Amino acid sequence: MKNKLLKRSTIEKKRSRWGWLFILPWFIGTVYFFIIPMLQSARYAFSDVTIRNGIVNYKFAGLENYIYIFTKDSNFLPGLAESIGNVLYQVPIIVIFSLFMALLIKSKFPGRTFFRAVFFFPVIIASGVAINILQTQVLMSSDAAGVQQQAYMFSVPSFTVLTEQLGLPTFVTELAASITGGFFNITWKSGVQMVLLLAAVNHISPSSYEAADIEGASQWEKLWKITFPMISPTLLVVLIYSIIDSFTDYGNKIMQMISEHFGKGYYEYSTAVGLVYFIVVLVLTGAVNLIFSKKVYYATQ
């Protein structure tokens, strides 16, 4: 009996060591790429930074940068409100669209692989700059003025010019451009979510639907009673991912503000804005996780 206990203890220790070995790359990456930069950012945000002859000098400034953000910067709070507003209407649309497309391309039909590749293709090539160029040069969104105008590879007749040439009223042109630009955003931001939801939908056992068919359940009932509960953990992941992706989008006002201040050499102020923004995103994401995690169903074997 004692030998069995010793043998089991040895096996558990070996498994524990393998577990630590597997998480070691994550741990190193977290320390090196997150914790150390965050500490460095905090040092910048509470200092007055000057760089002379390649040497960085720090002078403790206390809460001066943060006081300026909330009392004197006329762009931060409106930009933050706009960012939150964009999340409130964009994220639900992206999640619903991703789920709809995942259910659609799950079915077997000719060219299914091609359509899957088409919807995921933007994830491969779409850096934030690429999306901004496509929006401004092709669709001529509201932020077109002065953004990446040198990208002649996308210099084609704009949608707005095309509708104006057709003699349509101004409000119709603006409405059509807004709808087209919004559809562009949704399709280009739904690739990862679609793949995650497609994997979750395919993981549902066909026997669950077969049992529901025997009981005479409708498609609507199967969607709410089987599909949604079974993919709810993935839906929560997709929701949180979409929120963070929206907050860190290249066209986000706060992200542009951080980049602009950093480019001008205001390193301490751009870092302070970034830390405040990080805390806001962290709190909102945590609140969403706390609220929706109570509705998540985890199947037990």
Question: How many residues can be counted in the chain?
Answer: 301
DSSP for 100-119, written as a single string: HHHHHHHS--TTHHHHHHHH
Q: Count how many domains the chain has.
A: 1
Looking at residue 139, what is its pLDDT?
Answer: 47
Cα–Cα distance list, 236 to 53, 73, 134, 193 (Å): 49, 35, 30, 11
Does any domain span residue 47?
no
Choice between 167 and 208, residue whose per-residue pLDDT is larger: 208
Tokens of 253: 């006002």
For the segment 29-39, the average pLDDT, to the nearest whole number, is: 88
Position 240 in a domain: yes
Rounded Cα distance between 244 and 291, Å, is 16
Average pLDDT score over residue span 251-269: 86
Residue 200: domain span: 66-295
pLDDT of residue 261: 87
Check whether 3 has a pLDDT greater than 50.
Answer: yes
Backbone angles phi, psi at 223, to 5 degrees: -65, -45
Name the amino acid, one letter, at 55: I
Taking alpha carbons only, the member of 216, 229, 9, 238 closest to residue 102 is 238
For the domain that residue 257 is a member of, what is the CATH number?
1.10.3720.10
- Any domain includes 39: no
* Domain-located, residue 114: yes
Average pLDDT, the chain: 78
Residue 54 to residue 9: CA distance in whole angstroms: 56
Residue 194 CA to residue 102 CA, distance in Å, equals: 6
Tell me if 13 is assigned to some domain: no
Residue 49 lies in a domain: no
Distance of CA 155 to the CA centre of its chain: 28
Residue 151: per-residue pLDDT: 41
Judge whether 32 lies within some domain: no
For residue 36, being part of any structural domain is answered with: no
Q: Which pLDDT does position 132 carry in this prediction?
A: 56
Q: How confident is the model at residue 38 (pLDDT cuts 50, 70, 90)?
A: confident
Instruction: Flag whether pLDDT at 289 surpasses 80.
Output: yes
pLDDT single digits (tens) 90-111: 899 889 988 888 888 877 777 7
